[in-house]
Structure 1
Amino acid sequence: MEEFTFDGTTMAFVRQGDCGPPVLMIHSAGSSHLIWTAQLAALAADHRVYAVDLPGYGASDRPQSGYTLERYTALIDAFVREQSLEGAALVGNCVGSAISLTLARRHPGRFRAVVAVNPLTESTAMHGDWRQAARVTRGVSDRTAHALSRWHTPRWFARRTARSWFFSGRAYRECPYIAPLSAGFPARALIYLVRDLTAFAALDDWPDRAALPPLCVIWGNQNQVLSAVAGHTLNVTALHPDRAEYLDGCGHVPMLERSAAVTAIVTEFLAAHLPADVIPDPAVPESV
C-alpha cells in the first residue's frame, strides 16, 4: 500500500487503474479499503481508482485523537489536493459517505459525482439498532471515554461487530475479508466518532442541495447499524438524490453482500455523470 501523511498522521491507500476519470472510495467505521475490493477491480478498467484506510483502521496510523467528522474531512480534502483528484467522484459507506457528502457540500465544483452508501447522519445512527449503545457512549464522562479509548478491541469483538454488518449469515461466513477486518482496532476510533455524532446532524439538513454534484444513495434495507427507514426519510426530505436504491437481503455492507448489484449501480451512475472528456488532466496544476 502507498502512504499519505497529513499533520503527522499517515494514511494508507491503494490505487488501481492507469487512465480515466478519478474515483475515491472511503470505507465505513470499523472496516477498511477491503470492503471495496470488487468495485475497485471493476472500476479500474475505465478509471483511476483510489481507496483509503481511514486513520484507526487497516494499515493506517492509529493516533490518540482525530476521530471526528471534521478531522477526517480535512484529511481527505488534503489527500484529494495532493493526488490531484479534482473532478473526482466520491464513493463512501457510512462515515465514508458522511465525509463524501461534507466535502461535496463545501466544494461542489471540485467533484463530479457522489455515491453515498448507508450515509451516517445523526438521525440514521440514532434510529438504528445500535442507538442505545450510542446514547450510552455519548453520555459517559470525558474521563471514562478516555479510559475506554485505551482498550484495543479483541478479535471476538471485531468479529461480532463484523457479523452485525451482514443480513445473511451465509454471506458473512463466505466473505473472504472477515479475517483481516476482524483483527481488531483501538476502541477510541469508534468511541470518539460516536461522541462526535452531533457534528453529523448537519447532514440531516441540506438547504443548499441544489449546489451538490449528482448524487446516488444506496441503502441496505436490513441494515442493523444505521436505520434504512431514517435513510429513506433523509432522501425524501433533504438529499433528494438523482438516483436512490434500496437493496433487499443486505445490511450495512451491500458492496460485500450484494457485490454485483452495487458494482452495477456505481458503474452505471459514474458512466452517466463522470464523462472522461470533462475531467482535468492530473498533470495540469490547478489554476489559482
Structure 2
Amino acid sequence: MQRFEFEDTHVAYLEHGSGPAVVFLHNAGSSHVIWRSQIEALARSRRVYALDLFGYGESGRPDDGYSLDRYADMIELFLADRGIASAAFIGNCLGSAISLTVARRAPERVDAVVACNPLTESTALAGDLGPLARLARHTPSIGVRAVSAVSMPHWSVGAIVRFWFSDGKAFAAARSTVDDIAGWPARALLGLVKDLKAYAALDEWSDDDRAALPPVCTIWGEGNRVLSAGAGRALNQKLRPARAEFLARCGHVPMLENSREVTAIITEFLDEHVPVAASEMPDTDRGGS
C-alpha cells in the first residue's frame, strides 16, 4: 500500500486503475479490505483509491483526534495532495458520514456519493448498540488518551465482527475477509462515540443543503443491528437521495453479504451520474485490439 502523511500520522491507501476518481472509505472497526470486490470491478474503468482511515488497518493510530471533522480534513487534504480535482465517494457507516460531510463542506470536490448505512447520531442511537453508545458518551471524560495502550487482540475481532452480519452463514462465507481485518485499538472507537453529537448534523438536511449536494445513493442492510435501517428510512426523508436501496438479508456490511448486488448498484449509479468518457475506457471495452 502507498502512504499519505496527514499531520503526524501516515494514512495507507491503495490506488488502482485509470479514469474518473473514486474514493472508498470503510466503516469503523474495519479497513479497505471490505471493498475488495468493488475495488476490482470499478478499477476496470476508473481510478480507485481505497483508504485505511487513521486508527485502522495499516494506517497510523494517533492517541486522539478521532473526530468527524478531522477525518473530513484528512480527506480534503488527500484530494489536494494527490491532485484530484473531484471524486465520487463510496462509504460505509463512518465512511459514509465522512463522505457526506466532505460533500456538504466542499460539494465541488465530490462528483457523487454512495452512502452505505450512513452513520448519524439518530441511526446509531436507534441501533442495538444505542444504549451502550449513550452510556459511553456520558461517562466521565477519561479521555481517549487514557485507553491509548488498550488494543483488542486479533482473536477477539471475529467475535465482534460477527455482529455486523445478518446471520452466521453470511459471516462464515466472509471469514477470509474478516481474518484480514487487523485488531484495532479501543481508542479509535471510543473517539467516535465521544464525538457522536457531531454526527447529528447529518440528520438534518435543508433545501439549500440538498440543492448544493452532488447526486447521492443510499444503501441499507435491512438486517443491520449496528445502525438502524428504520432510522435510515427517516434519514432518507430529509436527505432525499437520488436512489435509495434497502437490501434484504444484509446487515452492516452489505458489500460482503451481497457483493454482486452492491457492486451493480454502485456501478449503475456512477455510470449514470459520473460517466466514463470513451477516451478513458479500456481498449477491450471500446472494441479496440
TM range, normalised to the smaller chain? over 0.9
CA, structure 1 residues 112+140, in 2 after alignment: closer, same or farther (shift >3 Å)? Answer: same
Give the aligned partner of residue 16 of structure 2: 16
Q: Distance in 2 between matches of 1:116 and 1:85?
A: 20
Give the aligned partner of residue 95 of structure 2: 96
Q: Distance in 1 between matches of 2:40 and 2:189?
A: 29
Give the aligned partner of residue 247 of structure 2: 247
Give the partner amino acid of 1:249.
R
Structure 1 segments of 4 or more deviating over 4 A? 277-280
Give the partner amino acid of 2:218.
V
Is 1:78 equivalent to 2:77 in the alignment?
yes
Give the partner amino acid of 2:272.
A
Give the partner amino acid of 2:225.
Q
Give the aligned partner of residue 128 of structure 2: 129
Q: Offset of 1:135 from its aligned partner?
A: 1.1
Give the aligned partner of residue 115 of structure 1: 114
Q: Offset of 1:53 from its aligned partner?
A: 0.2
Q: Offset of 1:85 from its aligned partner?
A: 2.1
What does 1:217-236 align with in structure 2 at a 5 Å threshold?
Answer: 217-236=218-237
Q: Distance in 2 between matches of 1:150 and 1:243?
A: 43
Give the partner amino acid of 1:73.
A
Give the aligned partner of residue 210 of structure 2: 209
- Secondary structure of the residue that 1:11 maps to in structure 2? strand
Gaps of 5+ in 1: 281-288
- Secondary structure of the residue that 2:272 maps to in structure 1? helix
Give the aligned partner of residue 147 of structure 1: 146
Give the aligned partner of residue 189 of structure 2: 190
CA, structure 1 residues 11+65, in 2 after alignment: closer, same or farther (shift >3 Å)? Answer: same
Q: Give the TM-score taking structure 2 as reference length.
A: 0.92
| Backbone CA RMSD of aligned residues | 1.6
Q: Offset of 1:149 from its aligned partner?
A: 4.4
**Once the two structures are superposed, what CA deviation does each residue of 1:158-213 show, in whole Å capped at 9, x if it has no partner?**
212210110021121121211121x3111000001011000000000111111100
Contact 1:220 1:252 in 2 (8 A): yes
* Count of residue pairs brought into register by the alignment: 277
Contact 1:56 1:186 in 2 (8 A): yes
Shifted more, 83-92 versus 219-228: the winner is 83-92
Q: Offset of 1:157 from its aligned partner?
A: 3.2
Give the partner amino acid of 1:28.
N
Give the partner amino acid of 1:219.
W
Q: Offset of 1:86 from its aligned partner?
A: 2.1
Q: Offset of 1:146 from its aligned partner?
A: 4.2
- Secondary structure of the residue that 1:124 maps to in structure 2? helix
What does 1:17-56 align with in structure 2 at a 5 Å threshold?
Answer: 17=17, 19-56=18-55
Contact 1:21 1:279 in 2 (8 A): no
Q: Distance in 1 between matches of 2:110 and 2:151?
A: 36
Gaps of 5+ in 2: 281-289
- Secondary structure of the residue that 1:147 maps to in structure 2? helix
State, as a whole percentage, how many aligned pairs show the same letter.
52
Q: Offset of 1:20 from its aligned partner?
A: 1.3
Q: Distance in 2 between matches of 1:278 and 1:227?
A: 40
Q: Distance in 1 between matches of 2:274 and 2:79?
A: 17
Contact 2:121 2:200 in 1 (8 A): yes
Give the partner amino acid of 1:142.
S
Give the partner amino acid of 2:269.
F
Q: Distance in 1 between matches of 2:99 and 2:93?
A: 10
CA, structure 1 residues 215+52, in 2 after alignment: closer, same or farther (shift >3 Å)? Answer: same
**Once the two structures are superposed, what CA deviation does each residue of 1:128-175 show, in whole Å capped at 9, x if it has no partner?**
000111011101112265434431112343212210110021121121
Give the partner amino acid of 1:231.
G
Give the aligned partner of residue 163 of structure 2: 164
Q: Distance in 2 between matches of 1:264 and 1:218?
A: 12
Contact 1:93 1:117 in 2 (8 A): yes
- Secondary structure of the residue that 1:276 maps to in structure 2? coil
Give the partner amino acid of 2:7.
D
Contact 2:45 2:276 in 1 (8 A): no
Give the aligned partner of residue 286 of structure 2: none
Give the aligned partner of residue 284 of structure 1: none
Q: Give the TM-score taking structure 1 as reference length.
A: 0.93
Shifted more, 113-122 versus 165-174: the winner is 165-174
Q: Offset of 1:275 from its aligned partner?
A: 2.1
